[in-house]
Amino acid sequence: MNGEPVVSLKGVRKTFRDFWLRPTVNAVDGLDLAVARGEVFGLLGPNGSGKSTTIKMILGLLAPTAGEVSMFGLSPRSLAARARLGYLPELSYLHPFLTARETLMYYAGLCGLPHAESARRTAQLLQMVKLDEVANRPVGGFSKGMARRVALASALIGKPELLVLDEPTSGLDPVSTKEVKTLVRALANGGMTVLMTSHLLADAEDVCDRIMILNRGRSVAEGKVSELGESLEDFFLAKVGNADEFVLADFLA
Amino acid sequence: MRRGRTIVFATALELLCEPLFMLVLQAALLLSAVAPAMHYHQFGEASRMARDAGLSAILLCGATIAFTGPIRTFRREIETGTAQVALAHSVSRTSFFLHKAIGCAMAYGVFALTVALVSLTVVNGAEIGGRIAEKTGDIARLWGPSFTLALAAALLPIVAAAVLNRFARFRFVLTANLLSASIAILSALYRFDAALSIRLMPALALAALPSLALLAASAAFAVRFKANVASTLSAAVAIMLLPALGNYCLSDALAQGGMIPWTYLACATAAALPAIAALLLLGVHFINGRDLQ
């Protein structure tokens, strides 16, 4: 890896606790990870494997129980580090009372952009995600796919150096999914570093340069997609275990 | 600065878009306009009735806005994840909390200003109308134009907002609330008796101070606890504040045609500000110490 990694985790552990501070679950357990500048890095794993928890520790939303997390060599809570970040959450968290235009202006404001620049980028991004015709409607009435596009545009409004995408194609139809994948590749080709999570192997295969597979909070494999063999699905199942079939005989009898 | 301003305006906008805010505002306006009118013919103390109804509306309905607004906006931000997205930007948790609290206070300000101006209009109308009635015996003058204006501030915006929503896609609740505030400002120009209005100002301020303390408490609890726990704790604060909530009842002075001394208002403010600051600091401590999932 050339240069300092954009994102670095060393021996990170996250244990959630209940009200009485008793440990309830080890969501992440001794994770080491480094994302190089300009690459598209995928965190893969089944549901509950610790992908979103890892992302939230990188964003500074969750404090690690042990270990060290850094972004651009700084603490994730550092404002200077977060000024260079764009984040698309797993669900499109939007203020339903704001219109699409106001939503983008709001996030542009949080990035500290001047009003004129915010308006210019908002118009550009609305056109890019094909929502310019409904720009003045409250996003509370949008379909899941439209809300996803608004959220994606919000993540890009500050022209981030690091884009963190949590399940970016969640809720999108096949056409929109392809558009998002093409967009991610184009952004990466333009020099942006992308860290994404997914449990859809096709997403990782099409977009990622390098992946890490998580299972029960631990890394079980890491490497370039091209080096993992012919079928990512076979590789994935070998690492996290094959699916068990539901026992339906008693229920159906 | 721009980041803070963005959070303040988005929070105020969010609360002004809430149907609950509109219902409480309309209830307060109707209470200030209609309640005194019901008694005009029986007791003969029209302006006192109008004043007490207005102050009660600001106090009770204002406390409702101060209580529910921060809990609803903070819990919604944290539970739906919009707070997490905002905090993934270069916004500190302290700044986020304080600016959202200011946004809540701004929404409360719109409420208090609207109701205060409508109350002043009704009190002014009753006072001046009362003098005319004494001379002419025309009792309808007591509640005629000023009462109509107050009622218009409550009801006209609903109709206008519905029309604007139907034909121009304006946001119904936001439009209704802003129109109410606009009519209230215009209504204050009607038969404005500056001396009387200045006489009532300290009473209005005394009614607002405990609500702002309640607002700070609700904001602090909302970032740490779930909505039901935050509501319970805020209710406990409201109960502790109850004696202070009755502050405006010092209006014996008002009833006798005098005013609450400005020094008393200064002392009350000096007592309220440290309490508000302490509650906001508690909120800052809570938001900085918690995980945001």
- pLDDT per residue as tens digits for the range A57-87: 999 889 999 999 999 989 888 889 888 999 9
Quickly state the pLDDT bin for A116 (edges 50, 70, 90).
Answer: very high
Give A-chain residues touching B91 at CB under 8 angstroms.
79, 82, 110
What is the pLDDT, as a whole number, of residue B251? 55
Instruction: State the residue range of the domain holding B252.
Output: 2-289
DSSP-H helix ranges across B89-171: 93-136, 145-168
Mean pLDDT of A95-119: 91
Under DSSP, the state recorded for B19 is: H
Query: Is the Cβ pair B10, A98 closer than 8 Å?
Result: yes
Q: Is A80 on the interface with B (CB under 8 A)?
A: yes
Give B-chain residues touching A79 at CB under 8 angstroms.
90-92
The sign of the dihedral angle between the CA atoms of B164, B166, B171, B172 is positive
Distance CA B151, CA B157 (A): 10
Strands A162-166, A85-88: parallel, antiparallel or unpaired by DSSP? parallel
Q: Is B249 exposed, middle or buried (0-12, 13-18, 19+ CB in 10 A)?
A: middle
Each residue's pLDDT tens digit, A146-193 = 888 899 999 999 889 999 998 888 777 888 888 888 888 888 888 899
What is the pLDDT, as a whole number, of residue B226? 84
Q: Which of B3, B92, B293 sits opposite A62 (nearest CB)?
A: B293
Query: Is the Cβ pair B89, A83 closer than 8 Å?
Result: yes
Backbone angles phi, psi at A28, to 5 degrees: -135, 135
Query: Is the Cβ pair B10, A95 closer than 8 Å?
Result: yes
Closest Cα in chain B to A17: B291
- On average, the pLDDT of chain A sits at 85
3-state secondary structure B175-196: HHHHHHHHHHHHHCCCCCCHHH
- From residue B8, alpha-carbon distances to B19, B21, B48, B67 in Å are 20, 17, 37, 18
Largest CA distance in chain A: 68
How many angstroms separate the CA of residue A196 from the nearest CA in chain B? 15
Query: Is the Cβ pair A79, B2 closer than 8 Å?
Result: no
Q: Is the CB of residue B290 less than 8 Å from the CB of residue A56?
A: no
Distance CA A117, CA A134 (A): 21
What is the pLDDT, as a whole number, of residue B272? 87
Task: Please give the helix or strand (H or E) that residue A32 lies within, else none.
Answer: strand A23-35
Instruction: Compute how many other C-beta atoms are within 10 angstroms of the C-beta atom of residue A244.
Output: 6
Interface test with A, best of B74, B90, B292 (most A CBs within 10 A): B90
Give A-chain residues touching B73 at CB under 8 angstroms.
none
What is the pLDDT, as a whole number, of residue B256? 65
What is the pLDDT, as a whole number, of residue B163? 93
Each residue's pLDDT tens digit, A4-57 = 788 999 999 999 888 788 888 888 888 899 998 989 999 988 888 888 899 999
Place of tokens 């509370």: A140
Give every CB contact of residue A229 below 8 A, 6+ residues apart in sequence.
A235
What's the pTM? Answer: 0.86
Mean pLDDT of B36-65: 73
Backbone angles phi, psi at A222, to 5 degrees: -150, 140
Closest Cα in chain A to B291: A62
Instruction: Compute how many other C-beta atoms are within 10 angstroms of the C-beta atom of residue B206.
Output: 26
Query: Is the Cβ pair B85, A89 closer than 8 Å?
Result: yes
Backbone angles phi, psi at B36, to 5 degrees: -65, -35
Helices B172-187 and B145-168 pack at an angle, to 10 degrees, of 150
Place of tokens 């709001």: A106
Under DSSP, the state recorded for A242 is: P
Q: Is A74 on the interface with B (CB under 8 A)?
A: no
- From residue A11, alpha-carbon distances to A1, A17, A30, A31 in Å are 19, 19, 4, 5
- On average, the pLDDT of chain B sits at 82
* Residue A56 identity: K
Task: Please give the helix or strand (H or E) that residue A131 lies within, else none.
Answer: none
Number of domains observed in the structure of chain B? 1
Distance CA A9, CA A12 (A): 6
Percentage of chain B modeled with pLDDT above 70: 80
Q: Which of B6, B87, B92 sits opposite A106 (nearest CB)?
A: B6
Return the structure tokens found at A178: 């392809």
Query: Is the Cβ pair B13, A111 closer than 8 Å?
Result: no
Quickly state the pLDDT bin for A103 (edges 50, 70, 90).
Answer: very high
ipTM (interface pTM)? 0.84
Query: Is the Cβ pair A97, B17 closer than 8 Å?
Result: yes
Question: What is the number of helices (H) and of strands (E) in chain B?
Answer: 11, 0
Helices B145-168 and B93-136 pack at an angle, to 10 degrees, of 140
Q: Is the CB of residue A164 less than 8 Å from the CB of residue A58?
A: yes
Distance CA B207, CA B214 (A): 12
State whether residue A35 is helix, strand or coil: strand
What is the pLDDT, as a whole number, of residue B219? 93
Q: Is the CB of residue B193 less than 8 Å from the CB of residue B124?
A: yes
Return the structure tokens found at B52: 């007490």
Q: Is A149 left (phi over 0), alpha (psi -120 to 50) or beta?
A: alpha
Q: Is the CB of residue B97 less than 8 Å from the CB of residue B223?
A: yes
Strands A85-88, A218-224: parallel, antiparallel or unpaired by DSSP? unpaired
Residue A248 has pLDDT above 60, yes or no: yes
What is the pLDDT, as a whole number, of residue A104? 93
Distance CA B33, CA B177 (A): 17
Distance of CA B47 to the CA centre of its chain: 21
- From residue B160, alpha-carbon distances to A30, A91, B112 in Å are 61, 36, 22
What is the pLDDT, as a whole number, of residue A117? 92
Of A220, A85, A61, give the one whose Cα is nearest residue B78: A61
DSSP-H helix ranges across A25-171: 51-58, 79-82, 100-110, 115-128, 144-156
Query: Is the Cβ pair B80, A93 closer than 8 Å?
Result: yes
